Amino acid sequence: MGTHRPSGGAATPMNDRRRVFEGLIRDHGPDLYRFAHWLCGQPQVAEDLLQETFARARHALSSPDDLAAARAWLFVTLHREHARVCERQRPQGVDSPPGQIPQPQPTLDDRPEASALRRALAVLAPEYRDPLLLQVLGGLSCEEIGAALGLTPQTTATRVFRARRRLRAALGEESGRQGDET
């Protein structure tokens, strides 16, 4: 996470808060948006999730101690917000579908292996994909992911391991059977 230095204007608490907030958006906004987009598959919903997450961050993150753990907090908050939205929209008695495929965007990498990996990631079950994305995009450790998702670190590690193994399989790589059981 980058540091956020005042860049002019009166050094009031309000201005400081604003600069800190702008720094949070600049440093974490893009990866948070990508995470949201993988979770819901729709650009507009992803942006709504991001707006809601930062709206919560404005009131929750203010001290330097908060900022030190801001990235993990933001990713976990966005994931919970997505779960809350899904829970509200899901008809009773119907399970949520596995990962929705994000709508195609014009500037995506169109190399065959990139396309194959994108498809594999999109159809990966959320229980595997979410921990993997929290690690790849959010930089969270297995302990942090487990705490956020209500899993033990061992279970989290197993899910991340299996997610990567499936992606390797989609790319035609060896699955590394010696390491199947974690």
Partner 1 sequence: MNCLEFRKALLTEPTRQAAAIRAHASTCALCRQFGLGAARLEQLLGEVARSPVPPGLEERILLRAALHEDIPPAVPDRRRFLAMAASVGVAAMGALAFTAWRQRDAAADLLVTHVRTDHPRGLASASGGSGLTESATRALLLTSGVQPGPLAGLAIEDAWSCSPLGQSGLHLKLAAPGGPVHVLLCPGEWRRSVSRLTRDDKQVELHPHRLGTLALIAASTPDLEELRTPVLAALDGNDNT
Interface positions with partner 1 (CB under 8 A): 18, 21-22, 25-26, 29-31, 33-34, 37-38, 43, 47, 50-51, 54-55, 58-59, 102, 105, 107-109, 113-114, 117-118, 121, 133, 135-137, 141-142, 157, 160-161, 164-165, 167-168, 171, 173-174, 176, 178-179, 182
Give the 3-state secondary structure percentages of the chain, helix then strand then coil, rounded to 5. 70, 0, 30
**Minimum CB distance to partner 1, residue 164 (Å):** 4
- Nearest to partner 1 of 90, 154 (CB atom): 154
**Minimum CB distance to partner 1, residue 92 (Å):** 28
**Minimum CB distance to partner 1, residue 96 (Å):** 21
**Minimum CB distance to partner 1, residue 70 (Å):** 15
The DSSP line for the chain is: -------SS---HHHHHHHHHHHHHHHHHHHHHHHHHHHHS-HHHHHHHHHHHHHHHHHH--SHHHHHTHHHHHHHHHHHHHHHHHHHHSPTT-PPPS-PPPPP-TTS---HHHHHHHHHHHHS-HHHHHHHHHHHTT---HHHHHHHHT--HHHHHHHHHHHHHHHHHHTT----GGG---
- Nearest to partner 1 of 92, 178 (CB atom): 178
- Nearest to partner 1 of 18, 80 (CB atom): 18
**Minimum CB distance to partner 1, residue 17 (Å):** 10
- Nearest to partner 1 of 5, 95 (CB atom): 5
- Nearest to partner 1 of 2, 93 (CB atom): 2
Residues 6+ positions from 95 with CB-CB distance below 8 Å: none
Both tokens of residue 33? 């948006």
